[in-house]
């Protein structure tokens, strides 16, 4: 990817999705495909990693996630921008419990690309970002409700 192409990109994020007991059902796959089809995100990298009970880590191949005999993730086969390397997968596996696997997705937020491009052209630069986990939001809302009920 060239510098010119990067200057037109939206923000890039990653997710590490843990699957307890290596149980990947593929239930979320249609929703991921919908985001791609609607040009909300672009998957730059998609890899899978497994942490065995002894703590050893290995990469997994794209596979039939729901057991119907079809390669569910074939649309993402070869999705590799080069941003995600073996060291990144090993680091991702450090957050996994032994006996579990994970999908690691690096994606561009296409919906934000025009805004990000305009801001970069105007000289603005991102100096911090973050994400608030849904669980934290729920806990905060529950605590606020409890305070208002007292």
Per-residue confidence of the chain (150 residues) as pLDDT tens digits?
Answer: 555 666 788 999 999 999 998 787 778 888 999 999 999 999 999 888 899 999 999 887 765 444 444 545 555 655 667 788 888 988 999 999 999 999 999 999 999 999 999 999 999 988 888 888 889 999 999 999 999 988
Q: What is the pLDDT of residue 29?
A: 84
Three-state secondary structure call for residue 73 = coil
Q: What is the pLDDT of residue 144?
A: 92
**Sign of the dihedral defined by the CA atoms of residues 43, 29, 94, 78, in that order:** negative
Contact 99, 21 (CB under 8 A): yes
Contact 90, 115 (CB under 8 A): no
Residue at token pair 């690309």:
113
Residue at token pair 């919906």:
111
Q: What is the pLDDT of residue 138?
A: 93
State how many domains the chain has.
1
**Tokens standing for 124?**
């603005």
The boundaries of the domain holding residue 137 are 3-149
Distance between CA 75 and CA 53 in Å, rounded?
Answer: 31
């Amino acid at each position: 990817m060239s510098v010119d192409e990067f200057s037109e990109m939206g923000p890039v994020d990653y997710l590490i999705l843990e699957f307890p007991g290596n149980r990947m059902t593929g239930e979320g796959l249609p929703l991921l495909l919908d985001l791609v089809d609607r040009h909300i995100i672009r998957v730059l990298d998609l890899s899978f990693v497994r942490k065995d009970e002894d703590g050893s880590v290995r990469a997994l191949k794209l596979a039939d996630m729901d057991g119907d005999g079809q390669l569910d993730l074939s649309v993402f086969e070869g999705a590799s921008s080069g941003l995600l390397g073996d060291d990144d997968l090993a680091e991702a596996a450090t957050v996994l419990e032994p006996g579990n696997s994970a999908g690691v997705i690096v994606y561009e937020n296409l919906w934000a690309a025009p805004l990000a491009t305009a801001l970069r052209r105007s000289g603005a630069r991102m100096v911090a970002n973050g994400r608030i986990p849904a669980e934290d939001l729920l806990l905060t809302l529950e605590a606020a409700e409890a305070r208002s009920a007292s």
